[in-house]
Chain A
Amino acid sequence: MSSQKRLEIFERVLDLVESVLRGKVDPFEVNVIQLLRRLREEFPKLKSWDEVNLDLESVLGLARIVVKQEEWVEHRASRLFIDPLLVTLKVETLDPKALATVLLKSWRPIVEARGVTPTFLEAAARYWMELPPFSGRREELPPEQEPSEGAELPWSAEEFEALLEAERTQLLSLLEERGGKLRYEEYVNRGEFWENVKRAYLLSFLATRGEVSLAKNPLTGEIYLVRPGKSAGTPRSMVVSFTKGEGDA
C-alpha cells in the first residue's frame, strides 16, 4: 500500500475519533477491533517518523473510544440513566414554575458571607499604595471631544427598525443560500464605502440582539457571520476594525 493510502487511513481514524469525542458518533458504532487490526497490518510498513506518530495518535484515539464505550455502559447501568428524549418531553410539558419547583426541592444552596478579610485588606492596601495619584492619571486622558453637529443618526426610530428588518431578512436568506456561514468582510464590503459603513453599523445591532452571531477562526483570524446561537462558547462582544480603502470615496 502506498504512503498516501496509509495517510488516508490515519486521517479517517483520527476524524472518527474526533467525531466520537465530540458526541457526534455513537462510540459503539466504531469497530475498534477491525481498525486496530488494520493499523497493526500497516505498522511494519511505516517508513517515516511522521507515519509512526500518526499511527501512535490513531491507537491512542481508539483507546479513548474504548474509554467512551466504558463510560457509556457505566452511565446506562447507573441510577441516573434516563432517556434524554424523556427529559426533553418533560421539560416541554412543564411550565417554568413547576420546573423551578423541581429544582427548589432538590436544592441546598451554599451559605457564604462576603466580608472584609485580612487577605482582602492586605490586597486593598497594596493596591492603594501602588495606585498613581488621580491628577497624574487624568493628564494622560485624551481631551473630550464635543460631538459634531452631524453626529445624530439620519433616521427616525421607525426608519431604523425598518432598515434593521430589511438587513436581517437579506442576511438570513444569504446565510440560508451559503449553508449558514458567510465571511464578514465579503458581506460588508460589497458596495460604496458609506454603504459598507451603514451595513456594518446595522450588523452590530443585529448581533447585539442575537439575530446573527459572529464566529472567529482562531488560526486565520477570519470572522464569519453564522446563524444565531450556532457559535460555540460563552457569548462575548467582538471588535471588528473597519478601514477606508484607497479607492473609497
Chain B
Amino acid sequence: MPEERGEDLRKKVRRAAHMLLLRSHTKPGVKGWELRRALGKDFKMVLKLLDEELKDIGFKVVAKRPDGSDAGEGDLKEAVFYVTFKEPPDWPEVRGSGWRIDEMAALAACVAFISAKGGVASREELEDLLMSKMPRWKVPGILTRLIRAGYLTEVEEGLALGWRTRVEIDIELLLSLLLGSRGT
C-alpha cells in the first residue's frame, strides 16, 4: 500500500511539473483550482514535494494572489502558481536570455518610480525619467517592450506595475537597494 501511494504521488509531482513549466495559456502560471482538479485534494502536498525537487536545481514554486502578494494557506485555490528562480540569476544567465543592460536599467527605474508614486505614473513622467539615462529615440520602444512582456501595464491614468513585476520582482528590496546604492 505505501508503495502504491508513493508511486501515485510521484506521478502527480511529474504532472504538476508539466503543468507549471509548460505554458498552456497566454500567460504563464496555473490557477490553484486547476491544479486541484488535476492533482486531487492533496495538491498542496504534491506542490510541496515538487518544490523540494526543484530546490536542488535552483527553482521554487510560488503562489501569488491576483494583486501579486504571496498567497496564504486559505486562498490557495484562487491563487496562481508559478515556478521561479530561487535566487536572483547571475549575469551570464541574464545575458544569455536576451536582456540588454539598458532594458534592465529602464525596468528598475520604472518599477521604483511607479512604486514611489503610489502605483501609477504618467507616461510622460516615465519617458522624462528614462530620457535622462538613454537616447530619446530608444525610450518609446523600451516602454512598449516592457508593457508587452507584462512588466508594466497601461491604465487610465498612465502606466502601472504589470502582473509579471508583481510575481518576479521583490519591490521592497529593489527600493532599498536603489536608495542604498552609490552613484558613480
Contacts and interface: CB of A to CB of B under 8 A. Distances in A.
Interface residues of A, number: 52
A81 B117 CA distance: 8
Given A23-B158, A105-B173, A88 B127 contact: no
A103 B82 contact: no
B132 A229 contact: no
Contacts of A104: 88-89, 91, 94, 104
Interface stretch (A47-55, A109-117, A135-143, A183-191): A109-117
A135 B84 CA distance: 47
Contacts of A82: 112, 115-116, 175, 179
Interface in A44-76: 71-72, 75
A122 B175 CA distance: 45
Interface in B54-110: 59, 82-89, 91, 94, 97, 101-102, 104-105, 107-109
B59 to A, nearest CB: 5
A232 B167 CA distance: 26
B157 A22 contact: yes
Nearest to A94: B183
Contacts of B102: 96, 100
A229 B118 contact: no
Contacts of A114: 22-23
B170 A100 contact: no
Contacts of B119: 71, 75
B140 A229 contact: yes
Given A71-B118, A90-B181, A106 B83 contact: no
B139 interface: yes
B183 A96 contact: no
A126 interface: no
B181 A102 contact: yes
A130 interface: no
Interface in B122-140: 122-124, 127, 129, 131-134, 136-137, 139-140
Interface in A22-58: 22-23
A192 interface: no
A238 to B, nearest CB: 14
Given A103-B105, A109-B89, A84 B116 contact: yes
A240 interface: no
Contacts of B118: 71-72, 75
A235 B89 contact: no
Nearest to A72: B118
B28 A110 contact: yes
A91 B132 contact: yes
Interface string B154-166: 1011100000100
Nearest to A92: B132
B174 interface: yes
A68 to B, nearest CB: 10
Interface string B41-61: 000000000000000000100
B88 A86 contact: no
A102 B29 CA distance: 25
B169 interface: yes
A106 B88 contact: yes
Nearest to A213: B140
Contact of A108 (B144, B156, B168): B168
For A88, A104, A114, the residue with the greatest tally of chain B CB atoms inside 10 Å of its CB is A104
B115 to A, nearest CB: 5
A220 interface: no
25 contacts: A21-B156, A75-B119, A82-B112, A84-B121, A91-B113, A94-B178, A94-B184, A97-B105, A99-B133, A102-B177, A103-B104, A103-B174, A104-B94, A105-B173, A106-B171, A106-B174, A107-B170, A109-B84, A110-B167, A111-B21, A112-B22, A113-B23, A117-B22, A229-B140, A233-B123
